[in-house]
A and B are shown apart, each in its own frame.
Chain A
Amino acid sequence: MTPLLSVSDLAVSYGAVPAVAGVSLEIFPGEVRVILGANGAGKTTIIKTVLGLLRPRRGTVRYGGEHDLLRLKPHQIRRLGVAWVPEGRQLWNTLSVIDNLRMGGFAERDAKAVDRRVDEMFERFPRLRERRDQVAGSLSGGEQQMVAIARALIAAPKLLLMDEPSLGLAPIIVRDVFRLVRDINAMGISILMVEQNARQALRVASWAYLLEVGAIVDSGPVSEIASHSRIQAIFLGGEA
């Protein structure tokens, strides 16, 4: 089977400072994979490079076996079915909730289809329907995360890139978010997630990569990797 996304030997720098050096990873259709790593390990850099927002120094990013993403601009990559839940939500705070959702479907030419999907999202997140005309900046953290995820789903993605979806959220909401990740995956959407919350992430993912200072130091199926001492020591506080 050809991987949906395959990144190989990726190296990205900010000016002279290397952020990622020689990272390779892949994800197959229908999978959930997670990149674990501390702050500054280069997780967001990988995501932004896949999205076309950063240009790597070297390496390749292939999508669906045929598209070379490094040759495309961000909006062209979006049209191939890649959507993004950015770190810290990054909603358009001055736009209303419904406008945020509509922007999620910007690439879709059929306005009716977008409206339909917006309605679906309101069915799924009734809280958002109540807040539909409020500016997104006035929402609570949990509600904002709902908008960020709904915005990405309106794009009807094949591949969802989730950057720290649990960051800054209350524990109860974090559980909701990960339940949602499972639901989204059940809809047939592949998910590449970046997380610091290893315990939760390893529960939904099938494969994990461990990123340290810009390089992948360990990877494997979750069933195996969860027992590796490094992950134990860093993320799971030593307990099994």
Chain B
Amino acid sequence: MMPLLLQQIANGLVIGSTYAVVALGFSLAFTVLRVINFAHPDIFMVGMFAGLVLAVPGPWGFVVALGAGALGAAAVGYALERTVISPLRGRDVLMTLIGTLGVAIMLENGMALIAGPDPVSYPNLLPREFVDIGPVTLTLRQVVNFAICLALLVLVSLYVRATKFGRATRAIAERPDVAAAFGVDVGRVCQATILIASAMAGVAAVSVGAMYGSAHAFVGLLYGLKAFTCMLVAGNRYFEGVMVVALGLGIIEALVTGYLSSSLRDAVAFFVLIGVLLFRPNGLFGSYAT
């Protein structure tokens, strides 16, 4: 019994760390800009394909692909910020959701037009090896993916806690007007926030693509709804809250898959969400007033 439990927890942490990166990007946009960026999961998708296109064989292939994913995603994020998000900032949250959803539809179907609507196989950027960690066996690709996602989360956490710009980011999240009046160029910080969220999603996307060995124009849907749910369950007061919830969701999903049935897996997130909304409508870790 124990080995299965530990194995599933390990699997859950791997997938949960990916949810966490996407969810953190959602949360950054929502907390700092008050914008629900439904195009974010598709920026993740664009990063995945950018990494696929520029992937070269050889030892540095993976690193090059990660860089390409970050750049591709950041480029789309930048364009999105300039054309849609910036004009929508300060509007009703639902309008931002609909507007960015329009962009998401364009990105998904645009990519389906280029790459085809079916999954495309990803180049072998990492060797197929297994790694034993105590009683748990993971593939090397899983371990690498977990390490990359964890590193991204720690970097963002350091950024918002220990840098001047990061401090301004949190200041805008709580009181945009006061931050502006004390010299923060709100527009620029918002832009930087979207760029960081996008680049981060791009890096994670390449590592996920390498892990599963495929890329798909509609991959964003799955990650999008789950990441969105994680953000709501956590509340937006602490960025770290989203990370914890996403990792937890990954573990719960893995346990449901292991002990109950895999068809129930995708339902878990929504049952958690309903429960939390009923009893803690501001999320487990609290939210800023909107």
- Do these two chains really belong together in a complex? yes
Q: Which residues of A contact B (CB under 8 A)?
A: 48, 51-53, 73-75, 77-79, 83-84, 86, 90, 92-95, 99, 102-104, 106-107, 111, 151, 155
- Tell me whether B183 and A78 are in contact (CB under 8 A): yes
Chain A residues, Cβ within 8 Å of B177: 48, 53, 74
- Tell me whether B186 and A75 are in contact (CB under 8 A): yes
Closest chain A residue to B174, Cβ basis: A92
A51 to B186, CA, bound (A): 14
Chain A residues, Cβ within 8 Å of B182: 78, 83-84, 103-104, 106-107, 151, 155
- Tell me whether A103 and B168 are in contact (CB under 8 A): yes
A93 to B174, CA, bound (A): 8
- Tell me whether A75 and B184 are in contact (CB under 8 A): yes
Given A86-B181, A92-B170, A95-B171, 15 further pairs, Cβ under 8 A = A48-B177, A53-B177, A53-B180, A74-B180, A74-B181, A74-B186, A75-B181, A79-B183, A92-B171, A94-B238, A103-B167, A103-B179, A104-B182, A106-B184, A107-B182
A99 to B168, CA, bound (A): 10
Chain A residues, Cβ within 8 Å of B82: none
Residue B267 at the A interface, CB < 8 A? no
Chain A residues, Cβ within 8 Å of B178: 84, 86, 90, 92
Chain B residues, Cβ within 8 Å of A94: 170, 174, 237-238
Which residue, of B170, B182, B186, has the highest number of chain A Cβ atoms within 10 A?
A: B182
Closest chain A residue to B238, Cβ basis: A94
> Secondary structure of the B side of the interface?
helix
Residue B164 at the A interface, CB < 8 A? yes
Chain B residues, Cβ within 8 Å of A93: 174
Closest chain B residue to A77, Cβ basis: B181
- Tell me whether A99 and B186 are in contact (CB under 8 A): no
- Tell me whether A106 and B168 are in contact (CB under 8 A): yes
A-B contact number at CB 8 A: 70
Residue B185 at the A interface, CB < 8 A? yes
| B166-199, CB < 8 A from A | 167-168, 170-171, 174-175, 177-187
B contact residues, range: 20 to 34
Chain B residues, Cβ within 8 Å of A104: 182
A51 to B180, CA, bound (A): 9
Closest chain A residue to B237, Cβ basis: A94
A73 to B175, CA, bound (A): 16
- Tell me whether B180 and A73 are in contact (CB under 8 A): yes
Partner of B180, one of A75, A92, A99: A75
A92 to B187, CA, bound (A): 19
- Tell me whether A78 and B174 are in contact (CB under 8 A): no
Chain A residues, Cβ within 8 Å of B175: 90, 92
CB distance from A208 to the nearest CB of B (A): 24
A42 to B229, CA, bound (A): 41
Chain B residues, Cβ within 8 Å of A92: 170-171, 174-175, 178
Closest chain B residue to A78, Cβ basis: B183
Chain B residues, Cβ within 8 Å of A52: 180-181
Closest chain A residue to B288, Cβ basis: A94
Pairs A-B, 3 closest by C-beta atoms: A107-B183, A74-B180, A78-B183
Interchain residue pairs with CB less than 8 A apart (16)? A52-B181, A53-B181, A73-B185, A73-B187, A75-B184, A77-B181, A86-B178, A90-B175, A92-B170, A92-B174, A93-B174, A94-B174, A94-B237, A103-B184, A104-B182, A155-B183
A93 to B178, CA, bound (A): 12
- Tell me whether B167 and A99 are in contact (CB under 8 A): yes
A120 to B182, CA, bound (A): 19
Partner of B181, one of A51, A95, A102, A111: A51
Chain A residues, Cβ within 8 Å of B237: 94
A84 to B174, CA, bound (A): 17
| B234-248, CB < 8 A from A | 237-238
Which residue, of A79, A92, A93, A151, has the highest number of chain B Cβ atoms within 10 A?
A: A92
Partner of B183, one of A75, A95, A111: A75
Chain A residues, Cβ within 8 Å of B164: 102, 106, 111
Chain B residues, Cβ within 8 Å of A102: 164, 167
- Tell me whether B183 and A106 are in contact (CB under 8 A): yes
Which residue, of B175, B177, B181, has the highest number of chain A Cβ atoms within 10 A?
A: B181
CB distance from B284 to the nearest CB of A (A): 16
Chain A residues, Cβ within 8 Å of B171: 92, 95, 103
A227 to B238, CA, bound (A): 53
CB distance from A6 to the nearest CB of B (A): 20
Chain A residues, Cβ within 8 Å of B168: 103, 106
